[in-house]
Amino acid sequence: MTEAAIQRGFSLLAQPSPASQRTPGTWARALFRTAVIAAGIAALLLTAPGRLHAQAECLACHADKTLQDANGHSVTVDGDHFGASVHGVFKCNDCHINIKEYPHPDQVVKVDCKKCHADEASGLTGSVHANAAEHPCMSCHGDAHSIFPKADSRSNVYPLNIPHTCGACHGNDGMAQKHGLASVFPSYMDSIHGFALSKEGLLVAANCQSCHGSHHILSHTNPESPTYKANIPKTCGSCHAKINDDYMGGAHGKAVAGGNLKAPVCTDCHTAHSILQPTEAAFRMQSTPICGSCHKDKLSTYHDTFHSQLGLLGGYVETARCWDCHGAHGILPASDPKSPIAPANLIATCGRCHNGANRSFVQYQPHANAHDRKLNPALYFIRLFMNLLLAGTLTFFLIHTLLWLIRARYNQIKKKTAEGDKNA
């Protein structure tokens, strides 16, 4: 950039004005312009040569692709990449502070990034990546001589590249395996977020940084972490604002806001990384067991219904699941007039699937409990009568069959005895 500015200045100085414009006023303006440009070039010449020469002298050796240090590590620097990177405007010894002249010492002082990046270094302190030995800055940002702005598609932290950058450690063969952590990279790439990012190229799709942050990444057990359970609705709500409003207005959201961390948040139903499109068959088929993991009593009564039996027998995707009736996020009790299962709203709710549903139709009880005498007395006694009838009928025919067998055997023996007496 500095060389280009100098060349541009010399070209302006060398550019003559057309003869038709050479008036006294024009000459005065030209002289003034020349003086200003000359002063600028002088300033550049005073500051730039040291930098340009320093880079050129270093690259005279470090541009060699075969150059290695005493430990056999490559110390090659691509001059073109370095010049285009965010560090291209600096002299080499701005970072390599113990290099003052050539030849430089064999042992080069380790670069201290926090000298310039104090805020980022402060955020990194106390994070899960605080161990600089395992997580140096370059493990995320790449080679220090080829670091590009995060808005540049060549950057390791460009939104489309972040999953692969994080996946280098949080994949099957990375640091996750070493420390016994779950390998989340494959799950994320197969999720709706990963698909939107990698296949559709949607930069607004959630990536690792969207949920976990960039430098001050904390464990999900830390109350300050955006992935701490109580904070997850707000984290997801930064993208899904309308859904978050519905959730926080529902029974689950109010419970979490009140400090009940047993209530479900986004990740309890959708998972953290393997997030599926809610309209997919796979999600619909697993949604009922997800709700049933908390509402075990309701799950058992749902399994007794036609809706559940139809789904279980043939895996029928379109049969009614919990959220088809109760709603997905703004879940409200039946006593709330805005609830889809409020008595006044039942016809409309059932009518979404059952055309012609009327007041009589919605008397159907989807969670009737035949074992609860107090809640459903009629059903309880009908069930008791039918069980007694079934047991009595089976008992009667069992006794009848046993007596029939005994009589048949008795007749056989009696017949054989009579034939023996006759032959005698």
Model pLDDT, residue 203: 94
Same-domain pairing of 313 and 361: yes
Q: Please indicate, yes or no, if residue 273 is contained in any of the structural domains.
A: no
Query: How far apart are alpha carbons 381 and 418 in whole angstroms?
Result: 54
104: which 2 tokens? 């430089």
Given 258, 292, 308, the domain boundary residue is 258
Model pLDDT, residue 31: 60
Q: What is the pTM of this model?
A: 0.73
Model pLDDT, residue 315: 64
- Count the residues in the chain: 424
Model pLDDT, residue 314: 65
For the residues of 83-150, what is the DSSP string, one character each? HHSTTTTS-HHHHSTT--SSSPPSSPPPP-GGGT-HHHHHHHTTSTT--TTTS-THHHH--GGG---T
Q: Please give the single-letter amino acid code of residue 283.
A: F
Same-domain pairing of 253 and 304: no
- Determine which helix (DSSP H) or strand (DSSP E) holds 286, and give its type and residue range: helix 281-292
Query: How far apart are alpha carbons 123 and 150 in whole angstroms?
Result: 18
Domain range spanning residue 226? Answer: 120-258
Q: Please indicate, yes or no, if residue 268 is contained in any of the structural domains.
A: no
Model pLDDT, residue 179: 77
117: which 2 tokens? 């990046």
Q: Please indicate, yes or no, if residue 270 is contained in any of the structural domains.
A: no
Model pLDDT, residue 52: 46
Same-domain pairing of 379 and 320: no
Same-domain pairing of 352 and 362: yes
Using CA atoms, how far residue 141 sits from 39, 176, 210, 392, 405, in Å, is: 39, 19, 17, 77, 87
Same-domain pairing of 300 and 246: no
Q: Please indicate, yes or no, if residue 26 is contained in any of the structural domains.
A: yes
Same-domain pairing of 127 and 254: yes
Model pLDDT, residue 297: 85
Query: How far apart are alpha carbons 66 and 22 in whole angstroms?
Result: 58
Q: Please indicate, yes or no, if residue 289 is contained in any of the structural domains.
A: yes
Same-domain pairing of 210 and 82: no
Q: From first to last of its 424 residues, what are the pLDDT tens digits of the chain?
A: 444 444 434 444 444 444 444 455 555 555 655 554 455 444 444 444 444 455 778 888 899 999 888 888 888 999 998 999 999 999 888 898 888 887 888 788 888 898 899 999 999 988 999 987 777 899 999 999 999 999 999 999 999 999 999 998 898 776 777 777 788 999 999 999 999 999 999 999 999 999 999 999 999 999 999 999 999 999 999 999 999 999 999 999 999 999 999 999 999 999 999 999 988 888 888 888 899 999 988 888 888 888 888 877 766 777 888 999 999 999 999 999 999 999 999 999 999 999 989 999 998 888 888 888 887 788 889 989 999 999 999 999 999 999 999 999 998 888 888 777 777 6
Same-domain pairing of 136 and 242: yes
Q: Please give the single-letter amino acid code of residue 11.
A: S
